[in-house]
Structure 1
Amino acid sequence: MKTLGLILRNLGRNWLRTTLTAMAVVVLLAIYATVDTVTSTIQEMVQSNTSQTQLIVRERWVVPSEFPRRYVHKISQVEGVRDWTTWNFFAGYLGGTTTQVRGMATRMDNLREMTAGLEDLDPALVEAMRREKTGVLAGPIVLDRIGREVGQTFSVESITHPGKTLQLKVVGVIDSELWAQTIIFREDYYQQALGAEDAVNIMLLEAGDIDNAQRVAQQVEKMFENSEAELQVETESAGASRISSRLTTTMNIVSLVASVLLLDMVLILSNSIGITVRERRKEMAIFKVLGYQPMHIFSMVVGEATLIGAVSGALGAGLAWSFSQLNASGALPFRIDMLAQFPVSQDYLLQGFFLGAVIGLLSSALPAWNAQKVRVADVFAAQST
Structure 2
Amino acid sequence: MRTQVVIIGSGPSGLLLGQLLSNAGIDNVVLERVTKEYVLSRIRAGVLEEGACAMLEEAGAAERMRLEGLPHDGFDLTFDGQRHRIDLHGLTGGKRVMVYGQTEVTRDLMDQREKTGGKTVYEAADVELHDFDGDKPYVTYRKDGVEQRIDCDFIAGCDGFHGASRKAAPASLLKVYEKVYPFGWLGIIADVPPVNHELIYSNHPRGFALCSMRSHTRSRYYVQVPLDEKVEDWSDDRFWDEIRRRLTPDAAEAMTTGPSIEKSIAPLRSFVAEPLRFGRMFLVGDAGHIVPPTGAKGLNLAASDVRYLFDALREYYGEKSMAGIDGYSARALRRIWKAERFSWWMTTLMHRFPDDGGFGQKIQEAELDYTVNSRAASVALAENYVGLPY
Answer with 1 or 2: which has the greater Rg: 1
TM tier, smaller: under 0.3
Length-normalised TM-score, structure 2: 0.23
Higher relative CO (Cα under 8 Å, sequence separation at least 6) belongs to 1
Hey, which of these two has a bigger chunk of strand by percent?
2
